[in-house]
Amino acid sequence: MKSKKDNEAFNRTQANLKARGYREKDVTIPSGKAMVLGVACALPFIIILGLWYRFALIERAHVTEIGGLSFYIMFIAIIAVSVVIHEMLHGIGWAISSGKGWKAVRFNINAMMPSCACKAALKKKQYIIGVLAPFAVLGLGSILFVFIYPGTVSLLTMMVNFTAAGADLLIAFHASREGDCFIADHPVEAGYLAFYK
């Protein structure tokens, strides 16, 4: 029900901008492609930071002697916590940058995974702030966590957070190349619609 309302709100925004003379440019990416390209975008960060960990921090690392089922439970817990915080940071970024607070943000659960989208059409810079908020906060936070407490948990957390931000980097790259336009975050697909006069 909520998803239907979100799509209707998105369609109203789209129709309103078109009625005001804006032309639409679709910059959405199918979820499978977004996942693959997102991992490719995150890979350089993971490799560089992994090498930094291996050659600069391994001597003081707290290696967890967890194996089997316990390791997978820990890994799933890291993913679950990271994903929730990641989506909250998108919401905070858009709530602040839009100047509209939480009214500009929608949170959903799709296939048991939380997601966040912006309900307002934003200027390019405002949109990019929300898109990159998780990369900036969780990325820098993960690096700091690894530096202060190098080990299995911090390394996995860093890898998860950079991998999760990969598709965001891809979307931010596309958005940064747009001209003077309004950007409407797509409620379901990865990406956005850009509206030009």
Domain boundaries, the chain: 30-190
Which residues, in sequence order, are CB contacts of 86 under 8 Å at separation 6+?
134, 138, 161, 164, 165
Q: How confident is the model at residue 1 (pLDDT cuts 50, 70, 90)?
A: very low
Query: Whose CA is closest to 184, among 85, 117, 111, 113?
Result: 117
Strand arrangement of the beta sheet that strand 182-185 belongs to: 23-29, 190-196, 182-185, 121-123
Q: How confident is the model at residue 2 (pLDDT cuts 50, 70, 90)?
A: low
Secondary structure class of 21 (helix, strand, coil): coil
Q: Say how far apart CA 107 and CA 118 lie, in whole Å.
A: 9
| pLDDT tens by residue, 139-161 | 999 999 999 999 989 999 999 99
The crossing angle, in degrees rounded to 10, of helices 166-176 and 31-52 is: 110
Beta bridge partners of 109: 114
pTM of the model: 0.91
84 touches 114 (CB < 8 A):
yes
Residue 26 tokens read as: 């679709």
Q: Say how far apart CA 163 and CA 38 lie, in whole Å.
A: 7
Please state whether 87 falls in left (phi above 0), alpha (psi between -120 and 50) or beta.
alpha
Cβ atoms < 10 Å from Cβ of 80: 13
Q: What is residue 3's predicted lDDT score, i.e. its pLDDT? A: 63
**pLDDT, the chain, mean:** 92
Q: Say how far apart CA 176 and CA 85 lie, in whole Å.
A: 24
Residue 41 tokens read as: 């975008």
182 touches 195 (CB < 8 A):
yes
